[in-house]
Structure 1
């Protein structure tokens, strides 16, 4: 049950990042002018999806606090390195991000490193 806190942290962190990227892709690029930037950021901060991304980051923090009461940080924190691997997969399949074998190899090394760090 205690590992649920870690995996909930990862899940809510990933949701927050993916939803922010997805929605900002839809809203377009940050304008060049100062007033354009202020207007863009103001409307983005009021967007319900972006608000849900920020709320998700807060929920992830709450789960992380719970995990910190159950694990040593040297055990719990390496699991956070699984986030980039999951974000990569979601980014490629749902956001149309670039797939490269170099990224796959790098992410495999991260996952292997996580297993070694936690198990040995």
Structure 2
């Protein structure tokens, strides 16, 4: 990964950003429209959601399907590759839940040192 000939911009690990893991969670059970994603992702702007979805689509984690009809709709759905991230995502969530108190304590201690 840190080799000079390795194209690090192709790094497949995208769940480290702020929104990808949450978007994967939102799409875990069914496809959703853009507006349906914005509800559980309260703090995300339309611009950032659009960028995240485009990146995830480019990386093969989701598909974007345009449904034509009286009202044009766009649905986003996890691909098998995107769905395969649910297992490590579940492990990360379980780890965070198990260590939640220690994480909060460490963050508060860091804030008191810098503040």
Pairwise TM-score range, normalised by the shorter structure: 0.3 to 0.5
TM-score (norm 1): 0.33
TM-score (norm 2): 0.34
**Higher relative contact order structure (alpha carbons within 8 Å, sequence separation ≥ 6):** 1
Structure with the larger strand share: 2
Structure with the larger helix share: 1
